[in-house]
Amino acid sequence: MRGVVLLFLLSLWPGGQVDAINQEVLANVVQEMRRFGLENRQYAMAVLLTHQQCTQNGAIFDVVVQPQVVQNSLQQNGFYIGARLIAAIPDTYHAEYRLLSHVIMNPSPMDTLINIAHHDDCIVFFSNYSPCLERCNFPDGETSILPFMTVFNSWNANRKAFVFSSVWDPTKHHPGVTNPSRQQVFDSFRRIDGYLHLYRCVRFQEKNIWVNRCYRCVTDPETNDCLYGY
């Protein structure tokens, strides 16, 4: 199986203790993950990474499947469940909910992925859009993902990340709906961040060069780069 060279995820304190996620490297990781998704479609994906992939620059990113296999499964079945990668697109339920909930599968795809992890593995959970306030990130909502986020509780905080690329804007998808305020969106970021660190990772041109960059999402809501453009 062909591997993709990956600059990966975590830096180390002297003595081998894990520090924080390196945001510059995480941005490149997310770009690699996006190769397995569907262009111009909403999807959610989680990938399980080995200790070597988590701690060594230049490690081989091999999730035991080729991107085309994942894409074909998403288009045909709406799901892909593999040994190191899971993904879903929305149907009646939103994509994040389909990976986390026990309603559709029990155990859930995320449970299955995490249950095979080694103690020093890492996990990155990615969604094109930030979880919406109408359903996924609505406390006590019928299809809220929050009750299922406890699956990440046993993981070291520096070995897990939730990443999105764009802030969900309901007015672009549901005419007549009122947009949540910036403070409400920021509060929704904090709810996710209570389970695993939340980042917005984007790709853009800077001085005629394409760059990948990630931003932490629980900084000051007035200057928060995760809310840029909202």
Neighbours of 215 (CB within 10 A): 17
The answer to whether the beta carbons of residues 42 and 129 sit under 8 Å apart is yes
Q: Phi and psi of 223, rounded to 5°?
A: -120, 15
Range of the domain at 26: 4-227
- CA-CA distance, 160 to 198, in Å (whole number)? 9
For 11, the token pair is 């830096």
> For 167-178, what is each residue's pLDDT tens digit?
998 888 777 778
- CA-CA distance, 32 to 9, in Å (whole number)? 12
pTM tops 0.95: no
For 33, the token pair is 């993950």
- CA-CA distance, 157 to 141, in Å (whole number)? 26
Q: Is the pLDDT of residue 137 over 90?
A: yes
Q: Please tell me the total count of domains within the chain.
A: 1
> For 32-70, what is each residue's pLDDT tens digit?
899 999 998 999 999 998 776 766 656 677 889 999 999
As a whole-number percent, the residues of the chain with pLDDT over 90 amount to 61
Indicate the pLDDT class of residue 180, thresholds 50, 70 and 90.
very high
